[in-house]
């Protein structure tokens, strides 16, 4: 999966963080899955009758992957789960909880976790539930998983994020239609021995941005009885307003997240951001001061995979051997709401 990327290596020197308070958590394996259909920007140039290179320049993407309309979101999630199990030879019956952390569910009821469990090799009766915080669902699920592991409620948890963003694309809206890709990713976590874990976690929501990024249908707001249009099932975004609003807030948020971890940016070896857009990643580099060497950037070859974006980038960090003891890692992203989510981990 990492043939498109280079491994810059960890230039960050190992530090002694043994005195920092952590919520014990250990990521023991990751995995990912992509649908087979690769959609190049050059093919979209032809589809939209644009000059060669227009779509790549506009979107910042070389290619992304889109599932067919018949493909199963749950099946793609199971592929990512199986990948994570296989990589570390983990027995399916050792998983005692499955969390589905996706932005869009398979259907309104039952929860997506039930659909994933049905198609998986996990034992019948395995616990499962959903967490939905849009694009930052995976970070939120990690925090919930750590809490459950540390109470002894569960001992080994699989978190799976799978989104078929292509199902909601409004092809008449150029700005948003070009950036989305489909995919799934999984992380399997345990409490560990207490030397690794969460140094800080923060979730903030600013509802002035609630209508800047939305899919209106799928709940009680828009349905056949309350009134519904076909466009309510499609993704709507005011990208310029959303970017300006998020940019005005994220620097202070970033500083609060770092401060609560007891670290500085120079202590963070690897930053795993939501792959929202080319502009958002450039903002991380230029305004927040995250070096290109520290940043995990898979956007050019994946696009915005919604909730699957952060765990897919985390999997890439594992493939590059950048989840290492003594090298702190930050997960961070923005989401519909407008929400910010972040976590500083000590591997």
Residue with tokens 């305004």: 287
For residue 179 the two structure tokens come to 């950036």
**Torsion angle, CA of 237/163/147/332, rounded to 10 degrees?**
-50
Whether residue 207 is found in the same domain as residue 134:
no
pLDDT digits (tens, 9 = 90+) for 74-91: 999 999 999 999 999 999
Are 287 and 247 in contact, with CB atoms under 8 Å apart? yes
CA–CA gap between residue 114 and residue 210 (Å, rounded): 29
pLDDT digits (tens, 9 = 90+) for 30-43: 999 999 999 999 99
**Cα 339 to chain centroid, rounded:** 14
- pLDDT(297) > 70: yes
Residue 260 CA: distances (Å) to CA of 3, 244, 344: 36, 25, 9
In the chain, the number of structural domains is: 2
Whether residue 94 is found in the same domain as residue 203:
no
Positive/negative CA dihedral, 106, 112, 115, 121: positive
Give mean pLDDT, residues 311-339: 97
Q: How many CA atoms lie within 13 A of 86 on its CB side?
A: 10
Whether residue 186 is found in the same domain as residue 49:
yes
CA–CA gap between residue 38 and residue 35 (Å, rounded): 8
Apex 291 CA angle, 285 and 295, nearest 5: 85
pLDDT digits (tens, 9 = 90+) for 208-262: 999 999 999 999 999 999 999 999 999 999 988 999 999 999 999 999 999 999 9
> Which one, of 246, 308, 301, 312, lies nearest residue 279 by Cα?
246
Domain that holds residue 308: 197-346
For residue 190 the two structure tokens come to 């345990």
User: Which of 156, 171, 190 is at the close of a domain?
Assistant: 190
Residue 21 pLDDT level (bands cut at 50, 70, 90): confident
Are 104 and 133 in contact, with CB atoms under 8 Å apart? no
What pLDDT is recorded for position 16?
Answer: 57
Q: Is residue 122 situated within a structural domain?
A: yes
What pLDDT is recorded for position 11?
Answer: 53
Whether residue 124 is found in the same domain as residue 255:
no
User: Which of 167, 190, 213 is at the close of a domain?
Assistant: 190
The more confident residue out of 14 and 237 is 237
Q: How many CA atoms lie within 13 A of 189 on its CB side?
A: 34
pTM exceeds 0.75, yes or no:
yes
Apex 99 CA angle, 196 and 93, nearest 5: 85
Whether residue 182 is found in the same domain as residue 210:
no
Percent share of the chain, pLDDT over 90 = 92
What pLDDT is recorded for position 14?
Answer: 53
Report the CATH number at residue 184.
Answer: 3.40.47.10
């Amino acid at each position: 999966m990492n043939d498109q990327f280079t491994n810059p290596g960890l230039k960050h020197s190992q530090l002694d963080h043994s005195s920092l308070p952590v919520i014990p958590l250990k990521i023991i394996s990751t995995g990912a899955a992509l649908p087979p259909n690769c959609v190049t920007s050059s093919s979209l140039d032809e589809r939209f009758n644009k000059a060669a290179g227009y779509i790549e320049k506009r979107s910042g993407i070389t290619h992304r992957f889109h599932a067919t309309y018949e493909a199963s979101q749950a099946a793609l999630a199971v592929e990512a789960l199986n990948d994570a199990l296989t990589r570390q030879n983990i027995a399916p019956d050792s998983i005692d909880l499955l969390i589905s952390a996706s932005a869009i569910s398979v259907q309104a009821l039952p929860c997506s976790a039930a659909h994933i469990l049905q198609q998986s090799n996990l034992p019948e009766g395995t616990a499962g539930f959903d967490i939905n915080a849009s694009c930052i669902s995976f970070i939120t699920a990690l925090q919930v998983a750590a809490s459950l592991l540390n109470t002894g409620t569960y001992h080994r948890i699989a978190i799976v994020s799978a989104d078929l963003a292509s199902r909601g694309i409004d092809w008449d809206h150029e700005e948003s239609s070009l950036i989305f890709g489909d995919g799934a990713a999984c992380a399997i976590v345990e409490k560990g021995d207490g030397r690794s874990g969460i140094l800080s976690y923060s979730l903030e929501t600013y509802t002035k941005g609630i209508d800047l990024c939305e899919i209106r249908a799928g709940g009680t707001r828009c349905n056949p009885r309350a009134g519904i249009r076909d466009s309510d099932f499609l993704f709507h975004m005011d990208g310029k307003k959303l970017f300006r609003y998020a940019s005005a807030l994220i620097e202070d948020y970033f500083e609060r997240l770092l401060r609560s971890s007891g670290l500085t940016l120079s202590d963070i070896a690897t930053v795993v951001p939501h792959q929202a857009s080319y502009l958002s990643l450039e903002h991380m580099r230029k305004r927040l001061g995250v070096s290109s060497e520290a940043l995990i950037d898979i956007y050019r070859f994946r696009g915005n995979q919604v909730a699957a974006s952060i765990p897919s980038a985390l999997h890439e960090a594992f493939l590059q051997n950048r989840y290492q003891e003594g090298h702190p890692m930050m997960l961070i992203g923005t989401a519909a709401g407008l929400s910010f989510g972040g976590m500083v981990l000590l591997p």
